[in-house]
Amino acid sequence: MYVLFLLLCGTLAGAAPVARFDFDTAPADGWKHKDNTALSSAEPQAGAAALRVSIDPTNFSYGWIHRELPEADYGNLRGIHGFYRAAKGVSGQLGLHLCLASPGADLSYFRGEVGALAHSQGEWVEFYLPLGVLRWERGPIRQLRPEALGTDDLLQFIAGVEARQPVSFDLDTVSLVGPDEAPALARRLLTEQRLRQLRPEAEGSGNPHPRLLLTPDRLAGYRARATAGDDRQAVYERFLQHAETHLRSYNAADPLVSMNRFLTDTSLESRAWSASFEGEVVRACAPLEVLAAAFRLTGEERFGAAAASALVKLAAGLGVDEPAWAKGFYYTRTFQVRALAFGYDWLWERLTPVERRAVKAALVGFISDIHQQSMSASWGRRPLQRVWNWDPGLMAACGLAVLAIEGETRLGEQAILFDCRRHVADYLTLGIDPDGCGHEGPNYLGYGFGAGAEFAEVLRRQGRGDLFTETNYHLIAPWLIAETLPDGRRWNNLSDGGYGQRPWPAYLYAAARYGELARGDAAKPGERWPSPTLTRPLGFLQQFAEAPGPRPLSYHALAKLYAWEWRQAMGALKPQDYDDRAALAHVLLYEPLPEPADPTTLLPLGTLFRGRGLAVSRTGFGPEDFHLAVEAGPHAAGHDQGDKGTFTLRAYGADLAVDSGYGNDGEPLKSGSSQAHNVVLIDGQGQPIRFHNQSGGAVTGYHHSPLLDWIRVDAREAWNVRYDPELVPQPTGAVARAERTLLFVRPRGNVPGYVVVYDDLAADSAEHDYTWQWHIPADRRFELADGRWSSVRREVTSAVLTTAADRAAGSASFEFEVPTAGRYVVYGLVRAGGLDPGKSDSFFVSLDDEPRLTWDLLSGAALAWDGVTERGEPGPRVFDLSSGRHRLKLEAREPQAEFAGWAILPAGSPAPQAPDE
């Protein structure tokens, strides 16, 4: 230990710590303590003395010491480093607080865990806590900002002990360290701490491996898919094709090579950087899961060898302490966590004991980090924050990681598992309302739920609860049908949820569970989904009821409804179009459904989802039928926008009024704002918004009948109130009335169907300008004749350049003349032509010898002019061009992205608006 300290002193010599307590002289000076706590000197690990802390647990089972921070510049503080020691037989947990003072207020406590006293066994244990792991625990809510620390703030050590007689522990050489020392300390000591959390392999007590889904008792059933003769066989074969492809193209010896190049070379910033980083993580991790599963399913060593190599490299090179995690979306780590969990479990016998410990230590790091964050972060600290789709994905990944190494660590495994299950259950009960409606839309549920389906199924197989039947998850079939637009190939795009209908694992798993449950719950005579009348708004506690909603239909009926939705939507994806992750999820989770039912036999044509505040009216379920959706719901957390009272309308095979699409960056006039929705503006301004709307609306009246549906919504709250992070209402305005009433009248005889929209809105008694907004897609245009506005289809006929559905390859070059040197922008007439627009919406573009750009299309499925820019850049890229000839090169990036033409304009010119002009 003395040698270790000398080496540490050598490291610190080049950069002194921000502050230091070495206890060499009068070690107790300056330290205050709890009444049951006493201070004295002890033998040091280095220097002249250490500080002994003795706690008498007779009345209190914990004790503490603290002192004011010395005067120093804390702006560069990165963490707290030191040593502790406890005698053999001493048990308890040593923690640390930074206590922030504020005039006239209580202290704000930020806590971190130093370590278990039992780990010491009489030897000095070195510890390091990065400042970022200290979480608010109690007192006034504040941010922990190092530059704001000062001599009024406290450093406190607190220990809870497990004893009836007085016990002691020692502290020595506590340093508050800066950026020069922190990275090396973090890498070394946090790894050592995690290794101490691992039990010796001989003491492991968990189930044998593999224990996650691909267990020996289930392998025969999985392998039988190879001869099932239906979609299961086709997707199983597609999965094996992906495994073969990864075996050839995935760099298992260095799976992070592309990511490291991205981290070194990218010029992206902010959200664009985070999105691209997530793509790199997926590209590094997904092939590992596929190869590991192929090894289990086929028994072929070549898959196992490649997967094991990649697993060890990912655990070592992309641990929880990698700085890039802090710059990206917190959710992104779920892809790494699930890959490590499945990889460890499915490849257990392919790993050496040393490799197993390394992977387990990496998992311990992620488990501890996610679990700690769940108690303080805005995505999960409170149940109402768990409505946001990040929460179930993070906690399910954390739960899978615990299940993978359960019985092999000294973590509080059962308590963490309980918390993980509770978070996922809260999302499935609060994030899906009592009528089975997801608050954020089908794609956000699919994306955010992440590994939730796999986690739920492992828990069920182990007899630890059924998250499908015990929550609102099992009620989703009618909601998904309501979200499905008349063409049957798109979900509605409310709250920027996207049109695509991917077979997310959440929906693959629902298919299997519905099919299974239907076999034990027969149809009931006359059963039908209800459509309740509403004459006043529901209360918040009703909208977010903690008990799951009633199940009005038998599982037989729900399964047949889900089968209709599956055939129309998620299941319409051809097996050859399944990507590697979707194919693996299909193999692991999907089972066939019964024959579909005609929805009209079980569902009303008008449905109100009371928790979310979503009303959907239609004339039928065919491609020419009417579909009206109206939304005005409560705020808790998630992707709600400045759109309370908005509506969308489809009829006669056309999109007549639409939600504009993805945005949610909170900038004025972007698609999270009122300006991007079919709502009324007051003096050109919409419902106040920053990032997410943080406010709510209400459906105050609803009635469905065969002839018409009546829907009344109130958006005053969205105009007048914003909720802070603690859901405390903050006034933003005083709009007197903001009510909208819609009548949806179905065709009868020679009278066609129609919709009446009546707005009763008044800011106050003064005069104001009110703007009534109507949004249409790019394939339509407005016509004004005789004082009437009409939405008319654009007749656009154009040859396009595109690729085959299964191959993104090809390029084309174009030359053009610039008459005058200057600054120019380039627009392309483009569209996403694939079945899933989100996977056919990008090209590579290069101009002359300039670097190639990744051009993400914003046009959607309709031909529209889109400015050429680099991924993540705002607006079209501006090029400085000389007069004369120039060359544009267009290269395929995703299959079925379509290109029809260029427009080269002087910078600052209005963007081309119409594809047919």
State both tokens at 259. 């990511």
Q: What is the CA radius of gyration of the chain?
A: 30
**Is 50 exceeded by the pLDDT of residue 120?**
yes
Which whole number is the average pLDDT over 599-618? 97
Work out the number of other CB atoms within 10 angstroms of the CB of residue 230: 9
Gap between the Cα atoms of 760 and 740, Å rounded: 6
Q: Is residue 206 very low, low, confident or very high in pLDDT (cuts 50, 70, 90)?
A: confident
Residues 765-824: tens digit of each pLDDT: 999 999 999 998 878 888 888 889 988 887 777 889 999 887 888 999 999 999 999 999
Residues 544-589: tens digit of each pLDDT: 999 999 999 999 999 999 999 999 999 999 999 899 999 999 999 9
pLDDT of residue 1: 25
pLDDT of residue 9: 34
**Is 60 exceeded by the pLDDT of residue 484?**
yes
Lowest mean pLDDT among 422-426, 835-839, 886-890: 835-839
DSSP 440-480: T-HHHHHHHHTTHHHHHHHHHHTTS--TTTTSGGGGHHHHH
Lowest mean pLDDT among 140-149, 438-447, 792-801: 792-801
**Is 90 exceeded by the pLDDT of residue 48?**
no
Mean predicted lDDT score pLDDT of the chain: 92
Q: Is residue 57 very low, low, confident or very high in pLDDT (cuts 50, 70, 90)?
A: very high
Assess contact for 341 and 399: CB atoms under 8 A.
no
Which whole number is the average pLDDT over 884-892? 96
pLDDT of residue 665: 45
DSSP assignment letter at 801: B
Name the strand (E) or helix (H) holding 367: helix 353-374
Assess contact for 866 and 904: CB atoms under 8 A.
no
Residue pointed to by tokens 């922008």: 825
Gap between the Cα atoms of 676 and 777, Å rounded: 12
Assess contact for 915 and 778: CB atoms under 8 A.
yes
DSSP assignment letter at 903: E
Residues in a beta bridge with 791:
782
Contacts of 730 (CB under 8 A, 6+ apart): 721, 722, 723, 724
Residue 444's alpha-carbon distances to 293, 500, 502, 683, 771, in angstroms, are 26, 11, 11, 33, 31
Kindly state the percentage of the chain with pLDDT values over 70: 97
Closest listed residue to residue 573, CA positions, set 489, 464, 458: 489
Please name the amino acid found at residue 155: L
**Is 60 exceeded by the pLDDT of residue 308?**
yes
Residues 356-398: tens digit of each pLDDT: 999 999 999 999 999 999 998 989 999 999 999 999 999 999 9
Gap between the Cα atoms of 533 and 627, Å rounded: 19
Helix (H, G, I), strand (E, B) or coil at 557: helix
Contacts of 862 (CB under 8 A, 6+ apart): 777, 778, 779, 831, 915
Q: Is residue 15 very low, low, confident or very high in pLDDT (cuts 50, 70, 90)?
A: low
Work out the number of other CB atoms within 10 angstroms of the CB of residue 25: 10
Last residue of a domain, one of 139, 159, 181: 181
State both tokens at 556. 């037989």
Same domain flag for 868 and 728: no
Same domain flag for 884 and 763: no
Cα 831 to the center of its chain, rounded Å? 27
Q: How many structural domains is the chain composed of?
A: 3
Contacts of 451 (CB under 8 A, 6+ apart): 334, 338, 393, 396, 397, 400, 505
**Is 80 exceeded by the pLDDT of residue 434?**
yes
Lowest mean pLDDT among 149-163, 185-199, 406-420, 531-545: 185-199
pLDDT of residue 179: 92
Same domain flag for 627 and 770: yes
State both tokens at 333. 């780590």
* Residues of the chain by 3-state class (helix, strand, coil), percent to 5: 35, 25, 40
Query: For the chain, give me the number of helices (H) and strands (E)?
Result: 21, 35
Same domain flag for 745 and 856: no
Assess contact for 279 and 273: CB atoms under 8 A.
no
Residue 54's alpha-carbon distances to 127, 167, 505, in angstroms, are 20, 6, 53
Range picked from 130-134, 167-171, 867-871 for highest mean pLDDT: 167-171
Burial of 571 (0-12, 13-18, 19+ CB in 10 A): buried
How many residues are given for the chain?
A: 917
Contacts of 81 (CB under 8 A, 6+ apart): 17, 126, 127, 128, 129, 174, 175, 176, 177, 181, 185, 189
**Is 90 exceeded by the pLDDT of residue 275?**
no
Same domain flag for 753 and 850: no
Name the strand (E) or helix (H) holding 627: strand 627-631
Q: Is residue 693 very low, low, confident or very high in pLDDT (cuts 50, 70, 90)?
A: low
**Is 60 exceeded by the pLDDT of residue 2?**
no
pLDDT of residue 324: 92
Helix (H, G, I), strand (E, B) or coil at 155: strand
Domain residues for the domain of 872 are 811-906
Q: Which residue has the higher pLDDT, 791 or 295?
A: 295
Residues 217-272: tens digit of each pLDDT: 999 999 999 999 999 999 999 999 999 999 999 999 999 999 999 998 777 777 77
Let me know if residue 228 belongs to a domain. Answer: no
Residue 28's alpha-carbon distances to 23, 49, 78, 90, 487, in angstroms, are 7, 11, 25, 22, 76
Kindly state the percentage of the chain with pLDDT values over 90: 76
Assess contact for 101 and 152: CB atoms under 8 A.
yes
Same domain flag for 848 and 729: no
Same domain flag for 761 and 886: no
Phi, psi for residue 820 in degrees, rounded to 5:
-135, 135
Let me know if residue 117 belongs to a domain. Answer: yes
Let me know if residue 382 belongs to a domain. Answer: no
Residue pointed to by tokens 């200290």: 134
Same domain flag for 753 and 857: no
pTM of the predicted protein model = 0.85
Gap between the Cα atoms of 838 and 855, Å rounded: 13
Let me know if residue 163 belongs to a domain. Answer: yes
Which whole number is the average pLDDT over 680-701? 87
pLDDT of residue 622: 96
pLDDT of residue 917: 64
Q: Is residue 691 very low, low, confident or very high in pLDDT (cuts 50, 70, 90)?
A: low
Residue 273's alpha-carbon distances to 265, 325, 548, 663, 899, in angstroms, are 12, 11, 39, 16, 26
Same domain flag for 33 and 167: yes
Same domain flag for 743 and 849: no
CATH number of the CATH domain containing 12: 2.60.120.260
Same domain flag for 672 and 820: no
Let me know if residue 664 belongs to a domain. Answer: yes
The reply to whether omega before 688 is within 30° of 0 (cis) is no
Same domain flag for 741 and 840: no
Last residue of a domain, one of 123, 146, 181: 181
CATH number of the CATH domain containing 623: 2.70.98.70
Let me know if residue 828 belongs to a domain. Answer: yes
Last residue of a domain, one of 147, 162, 181: 181
Residue pointed to by tokens 């002009």: 917
Residue 402's alpha-carbon distances to 311, 418, 462, 625, 711, in angstroms, are 17, 11, 14, 49, 47
Gap between the Cα atoms of 466 and 462, Å rounded: 10
Q: Angle at CA 152, nearest 5°, toward 146 and 158?
A: 80
Let me know if residue 583 belongs to a domain. Answer: no
DSSP 815-878: EEEESS-EEEEEEEEEEE-SSSGGGS-EEEEEETTSPPEEEE--STTS-EEEE---TT-SSPPP
Helix axis angle for 505-518 and 555-568, nearest 10°, is 140
DSSP 716-774: HHHHHEEE-TT--EEE----SEEEEEEEEE--BTTBPPEEEEEEEEESSSS---EEE--
Let me know if residue 99 belongs to a domain. Answer: yes
